[in-house]
Structure 1
Amino acid sequence: MAGRIVLLLACLFLLSSARAELSESKRAMIQELFPKATVIDDKLSDFPVYPVYQLQELLGYAYESADLSRLQGFAGKPIQLLVGLDARGRFTGVRVLDHHEPVFLHGLGEQPLFDFVDQYTGRSLREQILVDTSNSSRSSKDPDGNVVHFDGVSRATVSVLIVNDTVLSSALKVARAKLEGFSQATPTRARPDFFEPLSWQELIDRGYLSHWQVAKDTVEQALGRPLSDYPGTPEPRPGEPFTELFYGYVNSPMVGRNLLGQEGYAQLREKAGDDAKILVVMSRGRFTHLSEDFVPASAPDRLGMVQNNLSLELRDLNMFGGSIQLQADSMPEFAQQTLFRVGGNAGFNPGAAATLRLNVELARNHLMVDRTTLDVPVAFPEKLFETVEVAPLPEQTRAPVWVGLWKERWWQISLLVSGLAVLTVFFAKQRTLSRYPALVHRFRWGFLFFTLFFIGFYAQGQLSVVNIYTLFLAIWDGFSLDVFLLDPILFILWTYTFITLFIWGRGLFCGWLCPFGALQEMAAWLGEKLRFPQAKVPERWHRRLILLKYPILLGLVGTAFYSLTLAEQLAEVEPFKTGITLFFVRYWPFVAYAVGLLLVGMFIHKFYCRYLCPLGAGLAVLGRLRLFSWLDRVELCGSPCQHCKNECGINAIRKDGRIDYDECIQCLECVVILNAEDECVDKRLQNRKRERQASILATDAG
C-alpha cells in the first residue's frame, strides 16, 4: 500500500513538472501567435512542439527553435525563437526569446530585429523566402507567387540570414513530422554506374531528357487575349510553338555524360561539388526560359520549381565554357541553355515528381502587364535513380550559410585580400622603402584612408574584443569554424592579424588595420594642424597607465563566462561600434564617449589605444610570441640620442632606446629616421667623420 502511494505521488510530481514546463509567460506568447486558441498543450514527448487547438480543431504548433536548430548566431550562441506554424504550413508569427547579437543589443537596438521577424506572419513554407540585403522593399512578392523577398537589416546582414535559416529549417522539420502534405518521398540519388552512349534523339525517346512545348492557342487561352495584343511579343510562325523546353538531371551519368562528354561531365562535377544537384534546361521558340535582362549566376525570374508543394531554388551555375559544352549527337540548336543548381531549405529529391513553373509576363503597353503561369511536369525514369536509406536533414544537404555570404561579397573579399597583399610586401621591404620618407608617409596615409573608409565604414571590418571571448566561448561549448566564417571580412582580417602577430607583433593591426585607430590618427593630425597643445604624459605615469588595458581585458573575458550579456554591455568600453559600425548615429551618451576619446586624442596622441583598448592588450599578449624584431637600433640610440623617442607619438621607445613591441604600432617613423642622413645622430656623426677624413686626405695631397 505504501509503495502504491509513493508511486502515485511520484506520478503526480512528474505530471506537475511536465505541466510546469509551459510557463505562463510562454503560454501568453503562444496565445498571441494563435489568438483563436482555446487549448495549448504541453510539449509533446515524441517531438518538441506545443499543439494548439480551438476546441477540438488543431490550429497548428508552436515550438522553440533551439529544440530543432542549433545554428549559432554571430555572437557564437543560437538565436532562440518561438515560432507558430498553422496546420497548412503558414507562419502565424515569430517571437524572439533570447539572443546575444551585439549589433542589436548594443548598437541598432532590438526593434529592427523584431521588425524583421514580423515579416514571417502570414507567409507559407510553400514559398521561397529570401532575405534582401539591399533593404530596398518590405516583404515584396514575385509575380509567380512562390518567391518572397524580405527586408534585411543594414549592418546586421549575418544575423538576419541566420534567423531566416533557423526559422525555415526548423519549420520544415515540424511540417514534415506533423503536417499533412509535407511528408517526404523516399530519397533518391542518381545511379553512378548507369550509362551507355546515346544520341540526342535516343535520350528523348527513352525519357532521360524531357521535352515539353506549348502552342500559341494555349497561351492565349491562359492570358484571355490574343498574342497580337502584346506588341513587344513576336507571334510564332505557323507550326512553331510559343515555347519549347528540354530538361534533364545532369547528375545522372546517362544524361550528363551523353550531353557534356566524359571530360565536360567530370569537370562540371568537380567545379560544382559532389553535393550539387544540377538541372539542365534548354529552350527555343518565341518565349524562352530566361528574360533578356537575366543576370548570370543568379536565380531566373521566368522559371521556378516546386516539389511536394514546397518551392525550390534554381540558381544559374554559369559554367558553360571550355570543355563544359552541350555536345550530344544530332542535338538541335537552342536559343538558351542553362545549368541550374537546385536547392533551398526543402531540399530536392530528383527521383520524385516535381513541377517547373514558367512565368509568362507580357506587356500590353507601358502601364498594363498580363501574367500567367504554365506548369511543366518533371518526372524522370526510375531507372536513373537508386534509393537512399536515410534522408539527410535539410541543413546537411544545403551549403552552409557562410558559403552564400562569401559569394555575395566576392569583390569586397578580393579588394581586401589585394590590400593585405600590398601591405605585406610593404612591410617585408620596409628597410629598403624606408629610405624614401615621402613614399612611406604617402603610403601610410593612403592605407589609413583605405582602412577607415573601406575596411571600416563600408565593409564593417572592425575587429573587437567581443570576437576574442566569442572564440573562448566557442572553444568551451564546442568549436565550430562555421560561426567565424559567417563574416568573410572579419574572418580574413582575424586570420591575417593572427599570422602577422608572430612576424611583426601587434603593431601591424593596431597601426594599419584598425579603423578606429586610423580615425584616432587623423584626429591627432587635425589637433596638430589646429595647433592644439600636445600633452606629453610623464614617463613614470605612462608606464603605469599602459597596464590599465590588461585588467580591462581580463575582466571582460572573465565576465563572458559568467554572463555573455553583461560582457557585451561592458564591451562598450570599446567605441568601435558607435564610431565605425553605427557611424556615430546612436543614443547620445555612447556618441559623447566616442567623440570624447577622439577629442582627447587631439591632445594626447592615440590616448585610447595606449591606455584603454582591451583588444590591443589581447593582441599584445600574443604578439610577445613574435619571431622577429624588425625595428633596428644602433649604439647611440637612447645613449645619448633621444630623437626617435621624442618623435614617437605613442611613446613606445624607452629612454635606453629599446622598442616596446607591446606598445609599438609599427608606424615606421623610427625606421625612417634611422635611415635619414640628416636626422639620425649616428648617421650625422659618421658623415662628419668621413668629411674630416676626406678633408685630411685632401690637405695631405695638397
Structure 2
Amino acid sequence: MLRRLLFMVLLAWPLSGYSSELPDETREVIQALFPSATVIENKLPDLPVYPVYQLQELLGYAYLSTDFTRLPGFAGKPITMMIGLDTKGRFTGVKVLHHHEPVFLHGLGEEPLTEFVAQYEGRSLTEQIIVQASSRSARNATDNQVYFDGVSKATVSVLIINDTVLSSALQVARNKLAGFAQAAPTKARQDFYEPLSWQQLLDRGYLLKARLSAADVEDKLGRPLSDYPVDLEPLPGEPFTEIYFAYMNAPMVGRNLLGDQRYQAFMERLNGRGKVMMLMSRGTFPHVSADFVPGSTPSRIGLHQGQLAIEMRDLNWLEPGQAIAASGAPPLEIMNLFRVGGNAGFNPGSESTFHLDISLPRNHLVTDNARFTVPVRFSDDLFEAVEVQPGHQSNREPMWVGLWKERWWQIGVLVASLTLLTIVFARQKTLTRHPKLVHRFRWGFLLFTLFFIGFYAQGQLSVVNIYTLFLALWDDFSLNVFLLDPVIFILWCYTFVTLFIWGRGLFCGWLCPFGALQEMTSWLGQRLGLRQVKVPERWHRRLILLKYPILAGLVATAFYSLTLAEQLAEVEPFKTSITLYFVRYWPFVIYALGLLAIGLFIHKFYCRYLCPLGAGLAILGRFRLFSWLERVKRCGQPCQHCKNECGINAIRKDGRVDYDECIQCLECVVILRDQNQCVDAIVQNKQRQKQTRILATDAAGA
C-alpha cells in the first residue's frame, strides 16, 4: 500500500508546476501542438516558455513568439504565434493566434496562412529553411536545405513569419536544449596584421585547405569516375577538388588576400553588417556548379556550427578574374564571398563544419551521391572574446536588405520609369507642343502602371499604408516596417516628394494602377458609344467632398480598432482588382466590377467621389510649391474648351484649375499649346492676320 502511494506521488510530481493561472485557451493551443502531453506547466520565470510533459518525460517547450521578438508585420503590428519545439530542436507545430496582415484578413483568407505555417511541423533547427515562391520551392534543395512553398500575394508576410519563427526558436533552443548552446562569442582582432605569403597564411592556420583526390571520391561513390558520362577525371597529380576557406572580417586574412585598397572598400561596403567567408577552389569539381546564380545560396556546399545549419549567401562583390594579392597563391578557378550567419548566427572563433555534396548522374534515371565533411577551425590568434550584454542580439543584416536584393530588377525598372516621368513633367511645356507624342506616352505609361506596377510588382498604394504610418508614429516609429516592400516604399517616397511640386495629380493620374484601369474603362465606354453622363456642376461640387469624411472616419477607426479599420478599408477596390485579380468572395468582386461599370458612363467615378487615398493626397497637395498648369486671359472668359474636355471636371467655369481634383493628364496643357484648339491662340492668330492684311493694304496703297 505504501509503495502504491509513493508511486502515485512520484507520478503526480510534474503536476506541481500546474496552476489554474494558465488560461484554458492557451492550454488548448499547446495541447494541439503536443497531442501526447499530459502536463503543461506555467510559464517559467527565467525564460517565457511553457514546459510540456508526457507523465515525467519532457516533450519540449511551447512559447509565444511575441515574448521573444516583436518584428512588425506588413501592417505595422507583430504577428502573434504559439510555437512548439521538442527537445531535439524539431517544430511540433506553429499556430497563428493574432495578426493584422491585410492580404490574409480581407483578401486571400486564412487558409493560405494556415497552409504555410503547417510546413514547420516536423522540421528541425538543424535545417536551413528557405521561403521561395511555390514554383521554385524545390530548386537546388540539399540535405540541410528545406524550401517552403511561399504565398505569392503575401511574400513579405510569410518572410516575416519565417524570420519570427526561426529567431525565436533559436533563442529557446540555446537556452533550454542540449547541444544548441553557443560557445563564448568571438570577433576578429582588428589590430592584428602583418604582410604574409599564401603559404605563411596556410602554415599559421589563418587560411584552411581541404583536398579531395579522384581516389577519395571513387572510394566514397563505390565506382570509378569513368562510369559517369561527365568527364571529371583530373589530370595526374591534380586534385578532384581543392577548396580554401578564409574568414574575411579578420584583417590578417582579408588584407593579405585582397590587398589594402580592396579590403578597405570591402569593409566599408560591409559596414559591420554580418560575417563573410571567402571560398576558393580549383580542380574538376569546384565548390559551386556552372549554373550557380550569383547572389544565391550554394547547393554543393553547406555550413554547420554545432547542430545548426548556417545560412550562406553569395555577395557577388568580387570582380571578374580578380587575383589574390598574397604572393605564391595557386591558380584558382572559382572564388566567392559568402555572408554567413542568418538567424542562426555564426561564431568565427569556434569550430564549424563544411560539407561538400557530390551528385553524379550515371544516366537519366540514376544519380550517385556522396557527402564529404570538412571540419574548419581557424587559428585562435585571429580572434578575441566578445563581452555580450544581457538581451543583446547579434547584428545581422536586416530582413528588408534581402528583399531589396531579391527584387533588384523590379526596383531598377521602377526607378527608371519614375525618372522618365519626372523628365516629362519637368519639360511638359515643350513636350505638349506635340499632342500625338504626349497621348501615346500617356497611354503607354498607363499600361505600364496597370500591368507592371500593379499586377506584377503589386505596387498599389492604399489608405492602409496611411494607417501604418500614423500608428507607427503613435507607437515606436521604425523605418524597417516601410522598407519591407521596396516597390511600395519607392512609390510612397516619390509620391510624397512630388505632392509638393505638382500636387496629387501625378500619382492619381499616372501611378495608380486602379486609376489606370478606370481610365481604360472610360475609354472603352466611349468607344462602345455609351452615353457619357455629365454630373451637374452643383452636384459634382458636393459629391467630391464625400471622400474626405470617408478618410477621416477610416483614420479615426484605426486608432480604435485596426482590424475594424482594415475591414472598412474595403471601400477601396484595390485589393480585389489589383492584388487578387478579381479572384475573391463574390460581394467584393461585384463591388469592384460595379465601380468599373459606373466608370463606363461617368469618367473615373471612384477617384472623383469615393477614394480616401486621393483625399489624403489632395490635402497634402495643397502645400505644393508651384501651379504648373498655365492659364491665359481667355480661359473661362469666355473659353470653356478645356473645361468641356476635362473628363474629371477639375476645371471651374472661370477657368481656374482645381488642383485638389486634377489628375495631371496634361490634356488642358496640350489644348493651350495647340494653335488650332486654344481659343486665345485662334483669336490672336486672327488678329495678327488681320493686322498683316491691313499693313499689306497700306503698303499697296502707298
- TM-score between both structures, scaled by the size of structure 1: 0.95
Structure 1: distance between partners of 2:628 and 2:502: 7
Q: Is the 8 A contact 1:360 1:371 kept in 2?
A: yes
Structure 1: distance between partners of 2:37 and 2:510: 59
What runs of 5+ residues in structure 2 fail to find an aligned partner? 1-15
Aligned-pair CA distance for 1:695: 1.0
Structure 1: distance between partners of 2:206 and 2:300: 24
Aligned-pair CA distance for 1:321: 2.0
Q: Report the AA paired with residue 23 of structure 1.
A: P
Matches within 5 A, 1:13-412: 19-133=19-133, 135-136=134-135, 140=138, 144-321=142-319, 325-390=323-388, 396-412=394-410
2:458 corresponds to = 460
What secondary structure sits across from 1:136 in the alignment?
helix
More displaced, 22-31 or 568-577?
22-31
Aligned-pair CA distance for 1:391: 6.8
Aligned-pair CA distance for 1:567: 0.5
Kindly tell me: are residues 99 and 144 of structure 1, through their superposed partners in 2, closer, same or farther at Cα, counting changes over 3 Å? same
Structure 2: distance between partners of 1:567 and 1:586: 20
Q: Is the 8 A contact 1:22 1:42 kept in 2?
A: yes
Q: Is the 8 A contact 2:65 2:80 kept in 1?
A: yes
Aligned alpha-carbon RMSD (Å): 1.9
Kindly tell me: are residues 353 and 394 of structure 1, through their superposed partners in 2, closer, same or farther at Cα, counting changes over 3 Å? farther
Q: Is the 8 A contact 1:51 1:58 kept in 2?
A: yes
Q: Report the AA paired with residue 60 of structure 1.
A: G
Structure 2: distance between partners of 1:473 and 1:526: 40
What runs of 5+ residues in structure 1 fail to find an aligned partner? 1-15
2:9 corresponds to = none
Q: Report the AA paired with residue 545 of structure 2.
A: L
Kindly tell me: are residues 692 and 394 of structure 1, through their superposed partners in 2, closer, same or farther at Cα, counting changes over 3 Å? same
Q: Is the 8 A contact 1:187 1:391 kept in 2?
A: no
1:8 corresponds to = none
Q: Is the 8 A contact 1:142 1:148 kept in 2?
A: no
Q: Report the AA paired with residue 162 of structure 2.
A: N
Aligned-pair CA distance for 1:392: 8.8
Q: Report the AA paired with residue 310 of structure 1.
A: L
Structure 1: distance between partners of 2:392 and 2:590: 47
Kindly tell me: are residues 31 and 177 of structure 1, through their superposed partners in 2, closer, same or farther at Cα, counting changes over 3 Å? same
Q: Report the AA paired with residue 375 of structure 2.
A: P
Q: Is the 8 A contact 2:280 2:334 kept in 1?
A: yes
Structure 2: distance between partners of 1:648 and 1:696: 38
Q: Report the AA paired with residue 78 of structure 1.
A: P
1:593 corresponds to = 591
Aligned-pair CA distance for 1:271: 2.5
More displaced, 111-120 or 188-197?
188-197
1:345-373 CA deviation, whole Å, 9 max, x = no partner? 11111000000111111122221111121
1:510 counterpart (483, 508, 511): 508
More displaced, 337-346 or 355-364?
337-346
Kindly tell me: are residues 18 and 435 of structure 1, through their superposed partners in 2, closer, same or farther at Cα, counting changes over 3 Å? farther
Structure 1: distance between partners of 2:326 and 2:182: 34
More displaced, 619-628 or 18-27?
18-27
- TM-score between both structures, scaled by the size of structure 2: 0.95
Aligned-pair CA distance for 1:246: 1.7
Structure 2: distance between partners of 1:641 and 1:431: 20
Aligned-pair CA distance for 1:532: 0.6
1:574 corresponds to = 572
1:229-274 CA deviation, whole Å, 9 max, x = no partner? 3232433445443322221212211111111111121122222332
Q: Report the AA paired with residue 352 of structure 1.
A: S
Aligned-pair CA distance for 1:320: 2.1
Q: How many residues align?
A: 686
Kindly tell me: are residues 479 and 324 of structure 1, through their superposed partners in 2, closer, same or farther at Cα, counting changes over 3 Å? farther
Q: Aligned pair 1:677/2:675, yes or no?
A: yes
1:475-500 CA deviation, whole Å, 9 max, x = no partner? 11111000000000000000000000
Structure 2: distance between partners of 1:208 and 1:568: 56
Percentage identity across aligned positions?
68
Aligned-pair CA distance for 1:324: 5.7
Matches within 5 A, 1:489-568: 489-568=487-566
Kindly tell me: are residues 525 and 493 of structure 1, through their superposed partners in 2, closer, same or farther at Cα, counting changes over 3 Å? same
Aligned-pair CA distance for 1:92: 0.2
More displaced, 506-515 or 264-273?
264-273
Q: Report the AA paired with residue 500 of structure 1.
A: T
Q: Is the 8 A contact 2:18 2:40 kept in 1?
A: no
Q: Is the 8 A contact 2:213 2:241 kept in 1?
A: yes
